[in-house]
Amino acid sequence: MDNNKLSDPAVRVIRIIAISSGCMLLLASVLSNIIGLSVSAGLSMNQIYFAVAGIILVISGFLGRRFPMFYTGTARILLNIVIAVVIVEFISLAVVKVIDSDQFNIRARKIEEGHLDELGGRVVCGCYAPFVVWRAHTLLNCDSITISEDGYRLTPGASRDPDAFKVFVLGGSAMWGTGVSDSRTIATYLQRDLRGLIDRPVAVYNLAQIGYSSTQELIELMLQLRNGNIPDLVIFYDGFNDVCCSFESGIAGVHASLESIAGRIEGTDEALGIMPVWKILITKTNTWLLITSLQAKGILPEKTLEIPTYSTMGIDCDSLTSETVSIYYGNCNVVEALSDSYGFDYMIVWQPTIWSGSKTLTDRENEFIDVEDPFFLWGADPAFRELLVASYDLFEDSIADSTRYFSFRSIFDGIEGEVYIDYSGSHVTAGANEMIAGRILDLLSEADYLLSNNTGISGN
């Protein structure tokens, strides 16, 4: 109906109704938490919807007969914006296919499945797994990396004989084998060399995962035992990730990316109080994929991330060190109880890092500890080094006479060549992995407790 044909009294009634309804919606928005229309204690989407609808009604009421003109003009502007966005999306799709064709499908799928936080923050790369939170994704499969459908990395040469001597290795990305092929991981070197020490077939299972802390490793072990997969020997390769998790969250004993993962489950964002719709939509566009691809190639500058740490939270290093190591030993006590119950042996090793030893560093390795990297921002932070060194000191002080607990902090101290391969400060070369596996085997051969369980390992 043409509003110009309405009488003035009719227009006046419509305006009053619109303004009154708008004010009621605005009041409902303000009182939503009190009257139960809001789904959260903070500012909810329902409150935003009520407020937007109320504002539109109030504006239309004040505009009166001019509202149709206002509506038509606004609709034209919005339509032009939509057309422009669609054009930009098609252009972005074409450009990103050209400049980043190899990574396009992987990056798009990671964003779609929530495995890549393109708006910042350290979020682990993997697929959800019950209780342990994540395991490796088959997206990582390539010529040199093989991930099984259930998220574990392959150990070439592992026997499938049901009577094989079964070894579980657990840890983070260093034990998993970041930076090396399947045939160059610590697990694979152990598989190769154990066959020369044991008179049975050998099967080394690489149960390590990128970013795992010791508690996740313990849960992984428990899941394997629950399913009837009982090992003869379990080797834990730890230290670094437990410290990293304490450093970034200020809480000992948690997993990596605590706030980001909690935010996804709770549907919240620590900075805004809600998960903005625009953030969800933008990260799924080709335009955003193009921007992040250009940033990855250094064509566009990346935004500087200010990640909170225990230091910026005002948490004391000594107390956090004590809690971190104490919780680690708590996990070890559970391992000991499981060992007694299920009849397997175990070995605890704290891994070497670029900050914890006294290795003579190459120029490249010095760069790793002096330059900030967007994926390993803690490396150049003195507070991280302080926490790491203090944690290693405390761990080593309590294992001097142990036959199950070892620190490999100084394993590379006499090596002048390059060992560390990236800014993580914990990933090493294939040769270094072989050296670590050799040291583990030496300790296994020397340990009398292994012989007591008739494992077949020959002592020196």
Q: What digits encode the pLDDT tens for the residues 174-193?
A: 999 999 999 999 999 999 99
Is 119 part of a structural domain of the chain?
Answer: no
Q: Are residues 226 and 344 in the same domain?
A: yes
Of the three residues 78, 105, 140, the one that is the final residue of a domain is 78
Is 254 part of a structural domain of the chain?
Answer: yes
Helix (H) or strand (E) holding 133: strand 133-135
User: Given this model, what pLDDT does residue 112 score?
Assistant: 52
Of the two residues 133 and 376, the one the predictor is more confident about is 133
Q: Are residues 247 and 322 in the same domain?
A: yes
User: Given this model, what pLDDT does residue 225 score?
Assistant: 98
Q: Are residues 230 and 316 in the same domain?
A: yes
> Would you say the C-alpha torsion 187, 339, 442, 195 has a positive or negative sign?
negative
Whether pLDDT at 452 is above 50: no
Q: Are residues 73 and 154 in the same domain?
A: no
Whether pLDDT at 251 is above 80: yes
Query: What domain range includes position 67?
Result: 3-78
CB-neighbour burial class of residue 121 (10 A; exposed 0-12, middle 13-18, buried 19+):
middle
User: Given this model, what pLDDT does residue 246 score?
Assistant: 96
Q: Are residues 53 and 131 in the same domain?
A: no
Is 90 part of a structural domain of the chain?
Answer: no
Of the three residues 19, 48, 78, the one that is the final residue of a domain is 78
Q: Are residues 371 and 431 in the same domain?
A: yes
Q: Are residues 51 and 196 in the same domain?
A: no
Q: Are residues 142 and 73 in the same domain?
A: no
Burial 262-293 (b: 16+ CB within 10 A, else e): ebbeeebbeeeebeeeeeeeebebbbbbbbbb
Of the two residues 164 and 59, the one the predictor is more confident about is 164
Task: For the chain, give the percent of residues with pLDDT over 90.
Answer: 48
Q: Are residues 34 and 162 in the same domain?
A: no
User: Given this model, what pLDDT does residue 30 score?
Assistant: 81
Q: Are residues 332 and 186 in the same domain?
A: yes
Of the two residues 414 and 105, the one the predictor is more confident about is 414
CATH number reported for the structural domain that contains residue 377 in this entry: 3.40.50.1110
DSSP 448: H
Q: Are residues 65 and 135 in the same domain?
A: no
CA 80 remoteness from chain centre:
40
Strands 345-350 and 233-238: parallel
Model pTM score: 0.72
Q: Which has the closest alpha carbon to 327: 256, 254, 407, 236?
A: 254
With bands split at pLDDT 50, 70 and 90, how would you rate the model's confidence at 367?
confident
Cα separation, 15 vs 337, in Å, equals 75
**CB atoms < 10 A from the CB of 454, how many?**
8
Of the two residues 459 and 437, the one the predictor is more confident about is 437
With bands split at pLDDT 50, 70 and 90, how would you rate the model's confidence at 353?
very high
Q: Of 62-71, 149-158, 404-413, which gets the smallest average pLDDT?
A: 62-71
